[in-house]
């Protein structure tokens, strides 16, 4: 998917260090060819000044919160960057990073990039990076449902301000964040250097490449989701929990698609994330799926199994849904197709 420009989203609650993180990332030579879109809420935008980089590949979306008022503007801004890049008016960029307002629900932004009829042919979604403020994070998670959602849908989590926060509260927040989203790798800005490659480049689409590192990481992320099952509910957003399911044998891809679309249609608001490795009938290597609410990324045909485990594994982060009913439903749907049709079976139209 090299010809598709990845679009990353940096989100996180107000004052959680999104701009500081972005500033740090953009200083890395690996991200020298990145275009940046900044969405600011309020009459006078400041974040773009803090980045200390004003050039033609930096776009400010000043007219409101990107999630509810200016989705059209986001789409227009990315289209405009694309047109200018193709005409050679601006330097060639190989990645776009969108920094959302702290109040934004990330889902509409992701949906815009994936479903816009023009953007879908040139851009693809990359990792969502969520910053969590170690000083105020616990309070924000307790009071603002947006911040819980921002954590739950993240592909990568960065705990900021850990150097000025009380170590005990950092530990508590760390546990809470990992319960909300156990499969997302987590960094603390204070105590270790950020690996830009892992943060941005190792995304869902990298699983279709030949490189082994993303495969290993993906397997670790799914395994982390599985290990979390015993930790139970989270005190922030009591109804949000994560669990994992594993299935022996090969599953029927078509029936799985019927089931997942039906589930997401009916309960899309409550399925914050679904991610997994599927052992699909008539396929030698696994298929990686990755969904955020009603948005499902194109399924990736992985080049190899990341480990010896040949079971299909799915990790869910849900709000209010019961693990038992999801498991029973999926098993029943898949059980209907007891013997999948062979690849060369021809059905007369």
Partner 1 sequence: MCALCGILGPANHWTDAAARPGVFTRNLDSLQRRRERLQRVACAQRVLSHYRLTLSDWQGTAYLLSTPTGKTEIVDNLTHLWAAAEKLLGRRCDPLDPAVINHLGPARG
Question: Could you list the residues that contact partner 1 (CB under 8 A)?
Answer: 1-2, 115, 120, 205, 207-209, 248-249, 252-255, 257-259, 261-267, 280, 283, 287, 294, 296-301, 321, 325-326, 328-329, 331-338, 341, 345-347, 349
Q: Closer to partner 1 at the Cβ: 91 or 257?
A: 257
Q: Closer to partner 1 at the Cβ: 20 or 305?
A: 305
Q: Closer to partner 1 at the Cβ: 161 or 313?
A: 313
Structure tokens at 266: 């009916």
- Give CA–CA dist 153/106, Å, rounded: 8
Q: Closer to partner 1 at the Cβ: 92 or 341?
A: 341
**310-334 burial, b for 16+ CB within 10 Å, e for fewer?**
eebbbbbbbbebeeeebbeebeebb
- Check: CB of residue 203 under 8 Å from CB of residue 173: no
The least distance separating partner 1 from the CB of residue 306, rounded to whole angstroms, comes to 15
- Give CA–CA dist 214/67, Å, rounded: 30
Rg of the Cα atoms in the chain: 20
| Phi, psi values for residue 244, rounded to 5° | -130, 155
Q: Closer to partner 1 at the Cβ: 91 or 335?
A: 335
Q: Closer to partner 1 at the Cβ: 31 or 302?
A: 302
Q: Closer to partner 1 at the Cβ: 14 or 305?
A: 305
- Give CA–CA dist 4/2, Å, rounded: 5
The least distance separating partner 1 from the CB of residue 208, rounded to whole angstroms, comes to 2
- The candidate with the shortest Cα–Cα distance to 137, out of 100, 173, 168, is 173
The least distance separating partner 1 from the CB of residue 169, rounded to whole angstroms, comes to 38
The least distance separating partner 1 from the CB of residue 182, rounded to whole angstroms, comes to 23
- The candidate with the shortest Cα–Cα distance to 38, out of 30, 27, 29, 55, is 55
Q: How many CA atoms lie within 13 A of 242 on its CB side?
A: 32
Q: Closer to partner 1 at the Cβ: 92 or 336?
A: 336
The least distance separating partner 1 from the CB of residue 255, rounded to whole angstroms, comes to 5
The least distance separating partner 1 from the CB of residue 309, rounded to whole angstroms, comes to 17
The least distance separating partner 1 from the CB of residue 123, rounded to whole angstroms, comes to 13
Structure tokens at 61: 């979306």
- Give CA–CA dist 135/12, Å, rounded: 14
- The candidate with the shortest Cα–Cα distance to 276, out of 219, 340, 214, 209, is 219
Q: Closer to partner 1 at the Cβ: 132 or 287?
A: 287
Angle between helices 253-267 and 323-336 in degrees, nearest 10: 140
- Give CA–CA dist 63/73, Å, rounded: 9
- Check: CB of residue 148 under 8 Å from CB of residue 240: yes
Element (H, E) at 287: strand 287-292
Q: Do the bridges between strand 34-39 and strand 95-99 make them parallel or antiparallel, or are there none, so unpaired?
A: parallel
The least distance separating partner 1 from the CB of residue 120, rounded to whole angstroms, comes to 6
The least distance separating partner 1 from the CB of residue 273, rounded to whole angstroms, comes to 15
């Amino acid at each position: 998917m090299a010809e598709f420009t990845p679009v990353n989203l940096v989100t996180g609650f107000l004052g959680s260090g999104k701009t500081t993180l972005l500033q740090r990332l953009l200083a890395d030579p690996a991200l020298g060819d990145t275009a940046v879109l900044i969405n600011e809420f309020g009459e006078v935008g400041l974040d773009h000044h803090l980045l200390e980089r004003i050039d033609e590949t930096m776009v400010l979306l000043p007219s409101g919160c990107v999630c509810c008022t200016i989705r059209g503007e986001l789409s227009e801004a990315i289209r405009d960057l694309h047109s200018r890049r193709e005409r050679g008016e601006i330097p060639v960029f190989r990645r776009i990073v969108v920094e959302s307002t702290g109040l934004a629900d990330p889902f509409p932004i992701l949906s815009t990039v994936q479903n816009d009829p023009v953007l879908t042919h040139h851009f693809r979604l990359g990792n969502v990076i969520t910053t969590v403020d170690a000083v105020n994070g616990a309070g924000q998670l307790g009071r603002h449902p947006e911040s819980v959602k921002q954590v739950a849908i993240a592909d990568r989590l960065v705990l900021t301000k850990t150097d000025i926060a009380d170590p005990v509260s950092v530990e508590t927040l760390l546990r809470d964040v990992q319960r909300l989203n156990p499969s997302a790798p987590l960094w603390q800005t204070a105590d270790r250097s950020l690996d830009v490659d892992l943060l941005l480049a190792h995304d869902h689409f990298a699983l279709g490449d030949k490189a082994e590192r993303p495969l290993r990481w993906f397997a670790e992320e799914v395994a982390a989701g599985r290990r979390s099952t015993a930790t139970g509910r989270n005190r922030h957003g009591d109804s949000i929990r994560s669990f994992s399911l594993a299935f022996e044998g090969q599953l029927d891809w078509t029936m799985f698609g019927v089931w997942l679309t039906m589930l997401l249609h009916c309960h899309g608001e409550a399925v914050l994330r679904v991610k997994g490795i599927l052992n699909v009938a008539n396929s030698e290597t696994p298929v990686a799926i990755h969904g955020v609410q009603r948005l499902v990324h194109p399924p990736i045909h992985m080049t190899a199994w990341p480990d010896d485990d040949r079971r299909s594994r799915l990790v869910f982060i849900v709000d209010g849904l019961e693990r038992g009913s999801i498991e029973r439903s999926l098993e029943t749907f898949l059980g209907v197709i007891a013997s999948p049709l062979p690849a060369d079976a021809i059905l007369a139209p």
